[in-house]
Amino acid sequence: MIARRPAAAGSFYPDDPDELRASIRGSYTHPLGPGSLPPSGGRGSGVMACVCPHAGYAYSGPVAAHSYLWLSSLRAPELVVIVGPNHYGVGSGVSTFREGVWATPLGDLPVDAGAARRIVELTGLVDYDPESHRREHSIEVQLPFLQEIYHSFKILPISLAFQDIETARELGRGLHALLKGRDAILIASSDLTHYEPATTARSKDAALLETVLRLDTESFYAVLEARSVTACGYGAIATVMEASRLLGFGRGELLKYANSGDTTGDNSAVVGYPSVTFR
């Protein structure tokens, strides 16, 4: 059994379990957060999909907390799928884990081997490649937030080095087939504009997010190119948009947008953070 060890603990988020839990709680109650902690015992059913940022908790945690408060209404999910970018370009173009566990300071989470096998069969473009995930933080940083809500669940991590529209559409079709009729969570892990002045970032990100809310994948890629939006996980967002549209979701909702300048006070070169849900 493959055990994937944390790559971002101690840097993106605390590696001490008590400090980590306190950091997560602080994200909810932060001035940029939703202002309340998730209730226990969600009753909702079906597939819930969202976009969450993946920077250090001190920067993007409060924005991510908006999505997680919304997700907490779901009763214990059968499966959590997280699609994130491959920042390092190591390994396969589209990769998952065959089996094993992902470790965090809050415990081990099992990979759903059946779901991994099924997404490989459904798409023909997903490979088994744990090396693609070894250093990557975009999926890992979502897990402690989920563990604080659900404690134990199975995951399907999918890392994208290929983020073109054809890959997003094919993977979205596969995820629709995999998740339809299940109680499941689908997360696109992505930040938005990187290292531009706050006013520029807000303008670019607002234009991009409008296409996300419409589930308009073609316009999404057109805005990416026309406005040179440096969203690191654009393929992950597009994949979840495609799956959401096929699942019958009519529109997205922007729960929160902020940038790193909102926490650091430095607006000269910020990173944008989105919390978007699909229903």
CATH of the domain at 79: 3.40.830.10
| SS3 at position 270 | strand
In a domain, 119, yes or no: yes
Between vectors from CA 165 to CA 209 and to CA 230, what angle results, nearest 5°? 45
Cβ(53)–Cβ(273) under 8 Å? yes
Residue 73 region by backbone torsions, left for phi larger than 0, else alpha for psi between -120 and 50, else beta: alpha
In a domain, 25, yes or no: no
Segment 173-192 shows an average pLDDT of: 98
Burial group, residue 56, by CB count within 10 angstroms (0-12, 13-18, 19+): middle
| pLDDT tens per residue, range 65-85 | 999 999 999 998 999 999 999
Single-letter amino acid, residue 245: R
Is pLDDT above 90 for 28?
yes
Cβ(205)–Cβ(193) under 8 Å? yes
In a domain, 26, yes or no: no
Name which of 39-43, 112-116, 214-218 the model is least confident about: 39-43
Structural domain range at position 169: 47-261
Number of domains in the chain: 1
| pLDDT tens per residue, range 4-24 | 999 999 999 999 999 999 999
The confidence band for 41, taking pLDDT boundaries of 50, 70 and 90, is confident
| pLDDT tens per residue, range 220-231 | 999 999 999 999
Residue 8 sits at φ, ψ, to 5 deg, of -110, -5
In a domain, 141, yes or no: yes
Segment 164-193 shows an average pLDDT of: 98
The confidence band for 181, taking pLDDT boundaries of 50, 70 and 90, is very high
Between CA 266 and CA 166 the distance in angstroms is 37
Structure tokens at 224: 């990416």
Is pLDDT above 90 for 2?
no
Cβ(220)–Cβ(249) under 8 Å? no
In a domain, 10, yes or no: no
Segment 187-193 shows an average pLDDT of: 98
In a domain, 19, yes or no: no
Is pLDDT above 80 for 1?
no
How far from each other are the two terminal CA atoms of the chain, in whole angstroms?
36
Q: What is the pLDDT of residue 42?
A: 86
Residues in contact with 71: Cβ distance below 8 Å, sequence separation at least 6, in sequence order: 48, 50, 146, 149, 185
Q: What is the pLDDT of residue 213?
A: 98
The confidence band for 27, taking pLDDT boundaries of 50, 70 and 90, is very high
**To the nearest whole percent, how much of the chain has pLDDT over 70?**
100
- For the chain, count helices (H), then strands (E): 9, 12
The mean pLDDT value of the chain amounts to 97
| pLDDT tens per residue, range 45-56 | 999 999 999 999
| SS3 at position 273 | strand
Shortest CA distance to 157 belongs to which of 4, 1, 33? 4
Q: What is the pLDDT of residue 40?
A: 84
The confidence band for 197, taking pLDDT boundaries of 50, 70 and 90, is very high
| pLDDT tens per residue, range 149-178 | 998 999 999 999 999 999 999 999 999 999
